[in-house]
Structure 1
Amino acid sequence: MITTNLFNSSDAKKITLNKGIFTVVEYERDLSVDPEMAEMAYFAAMMDVRKRQLIAQIEPGLGAITQKGIMQLMLGDLQARTDISGLGNLMKKYIGSKVTGESAIKPLYTGEGTLVLEPTFKYIILEDLDEWEGKLTIEDGMFLACEDSVQMKVVARTTVSSAVLGGEGLFNTSIYGTGVVALESPVPRSELIEVNLDNDVLKIDGNMAIAWSTDLKFTVERTTPTLVGSMAAGEGLVNVYRGTGRVLIAPVQSNRGIANPKDKK
């Protein structure tokens, strides 16, 4: 029998999310820094730059698939195996990993016990595929873990314009099935704009969408009917999502074009 204080809140850490088999632990303060780094660590924590850790409570019949090489602890009777069934399958996954930024081999953990993944400074988001009609496409490199009832595949852009001009890459990871997915987000969930489309259109100036319903049609279009008009408007091309589904947008990510107030005269 194993007992642990993993799920106990303290002055240093707290539980912030629970969904499916997953729990997210956030370290509010890094108490193990050197004295010369204490000031930087303090202000980093004030800006929500903190370590976060994903924990999976695995039961018989319900395992977890993770990115490669991020296991920190296995408590209990857990076994790990790869999702590779043969050389052809390995080559297919390797090619997929090169175009999406995800690891080719994703270990599957089964049995009964607790799986603890390595800490990350990114924000961990838990999404239930039932809330996405069972289909979710994510930005490259965001996948962290999922329940083993979830499946993944690489999907290509359906139009030349979206592949070449959209800034979202030629391929993306599509997640489908039932279960909970853990994603590593560049921004917290509270900063994400969630848009629900019901046979409608969403236009975004740039590649700020980090996740969207797979059934949405994605194209790149001009903001006005003519190229000259678009240039005159100063907007140029926009990413367009059409249909019925959801989109998660990171509006403050990589916004280097925004002027600093102290630079204004």
Structure 2
Amino acid sequence: MGFRINNLTDNSNTVIREKLGGFTVLEYIKDLSCTSVMDATAQYYMSQSNMRRKQLMIELNNSEIMMKAGAMQYTIGRMEMTTGINGLGGLVSGMFKSAASGTGTVKPHYRGTGMIMLEPTYNYIWLIDVDNDEVVIEDGLFLACDTSLNIGVTARSNFSSAALGGEGLFNMTAKGKGVLALEAPVPAEETVVVELENDELKVDGNFAMMWSNTLKFTVEKSGKTKIGSAASGEGLVNVYRGTGTVWLSPLASYS
């Protein structure tokens, strides 16, 4: 009993962009399924601009992963899917975490041996090795992870400023040891990594993708006074204080 997959990783139009543990990021060099001249023209320029379809492939070997609801495209092998929710208490907790962090209440768990292919995306897939650490993730980036990681939420230090700054009051966290997959608007190569040691970072905008939970995160006025903030033209800024790491994507486009 077993399976073999042909014309996937052995396809000349497919490259393995990254691999970490049982997680593999596949990228398609060209979109070969164009059916019109307009489609072909658009796909050509998209490919030249690094806008290529990507897929996350997850291999299970008597192991378990968790993923974003609705992300699965197909599975091969013997595995079972559960909701990851235990009873009414788990459902209530899941509803709070989903409302707080902007993610779905139910995150399917897949356990067993086989392969899972997620839906293709033009966004960029990051694979992160969380090594006995705890990181905070910007809203909506979660894609999948090993269930050895504990997924939770963390609150802003000052709720009123967070609301005024256009940020959510809570963020998702990943704690422990395992692989975390994120779906981000920019490639990891464009990420600026800032390591703080008892210092502070001020960011005008929500382009911090991820940061250490050891940092104190607040939203504050850019100046000491209202007049100073108005004069600087910045208004409110996101502030990260303490010792830890912040991953910035300053070239990301936000509406």
TM-score range, shorter chain: over 0.9
Q: Which residue of 1 aligns with 2:106?
A: 105
Structure 1 runs (4+) greater than 3 angstroms displaced? none
Q: Which residue of 2 aligns with 1:4?
A: 5
User: In structure 1, how many angstroms separate the alpha carbons of the residues matched to 2:189 and 2:81?
Assistant: 34
The alpha carbon displacement at 1:162 in A equals 4.3
Q: Which residue of 1 aligns with 2:50?
A: 48
Contact 1:149 1:177 in 2 (8 A): yes
From the superposition, tell whether residues 255 and 90 of structure 1 become closer, same or farther in structure 2 (CA, over 3 Å). Answer: closer
The alpha carbon displacement at 1:110 in A equals 1.2
Amino acid at match of 1:200: D
Amino acid at match of 1:96: K
Identity in percent: 44
Contact 2:8 2:14 in 1 (8 A): no
The alpha carbon displacement at 1:167 in A equals 3.0
- TM-score, scaled relative to structure 1: 0.89
Deviations 1:47-99 (A, max 9, x none): 11111111111112x31111112222222222211101112211221232223
Amino acid at match of 1:102: T
Deviations 1:206-254 (A, max 9, x none): 2211111112101223333332223223233221100111111121223
Partner SS state of residue 11, structure 2: coil
Deviations 1:143-190 (A, max 9, x none): 000011011112221213542234331111111111010000011111
User: In structure 1, how many angstroms separate the alpha carbons of the residues matched to 2:50 and 2:6?
Assistant: 23
Contact 1:161 1:219 in 2 (8 A): no
Q: Which residue of 2 aligns with 1:78?
A: 79
Structure 1: tracts of 5 or more residues without a match: 257-265
Q: Which residue of 2 aligns with 1:234?
A: 233
Amino acid at match of 2:53: K
Q: Which residue of 2 aligns with 1:262?
A: none
User: In structure 2, how many angstroms separate the alpha carbons of the residues matched to 1:215 and 1:245?
Assistant: 6
User: In structure 2, how many angstroms separate the alpha carbons of the residues matched to 1:86 and 1:150?
Assistant: 21
Contact 1:72 1:117 in 2 (8 A): yes
Contact 2:27 2:54 in 1 (8 A): yes
Q: Which residue of 1 aligns with 2:59?
A: 57
Q: Which residue of 2 aligns with 1:14?
A: 15
User: In structure 2, how many angstroms separate the alpha carbons of the residues matched to 1:233 and 1:166?
Assistant: 16
Considering only aligned residues, what root-mean-square deviation do their CA atoms show, in Å?
Answer: 1.7
From the superposition, tell whether residues 157 and 105 of structure 1 become closer, same or farther in structure 2 (CA, over 3 Å). Answer: same
Structure 2: tracts of 5 or more residues without a match: none
Deviations 1:106-141 (A, max 9, x none): 1111111111111111100011111xx510111111
Partner SS state of residue 231, structure 1: helix
Contact 1:7 1:15 in 2 (8 A): no
Contact 1:76 1:113 in 2 (8 A): yes
Q: Which residue of 2 aligns with 1:219?
A: 218
Q: Identify which range, 87-96 or 112-121, moves more after superposition.
A: 87-96
**Higher strand proportion (structure 1 or 2):** 2
Amino acid at match of 1:54: L
Q: Which residue of 1 aligns with 2:247?
A: 248
Matched, 1:136 2:135: yes
Partner SS state of residue 27, structure 2: strand
Contact 2:82 2:109 in 1 (8 A): yes
Q: How many residues align?
A: 253
| 1:110-259 mapped onto 2 (5 Å cutoff) | 110-130=111-131, 133-254=132-253
From the superposition, tell whether residues 229 and 176 of structure 1 become closer, same or farther in structure 2 (CA, over 3 Å). Answer: same
From the superposition, tell whether residues 6 and 243 of structure 1 become closer, same or farther in structure 2 (CA, over 3 Å). Answer: farther
- TM-score, scaled relative to structure 2: 0.92
User: In structure 1, how many angstroms separate the alpha carbons of the residues matched to 2:45 and 2:19?
Assistant: 27
Amino acid at match of 2:44: Y
From the superposition, tell whether residues 166 and 196 of structure 1 become closer, same or farther in structure 2 (CA, over 3 Å). Answer: farther
Q: Identify which range, 174-183 or 108-117, moves more after superposition.
A: 108-117
The alpha carbon displacement at 1:3 in A equals 1.2
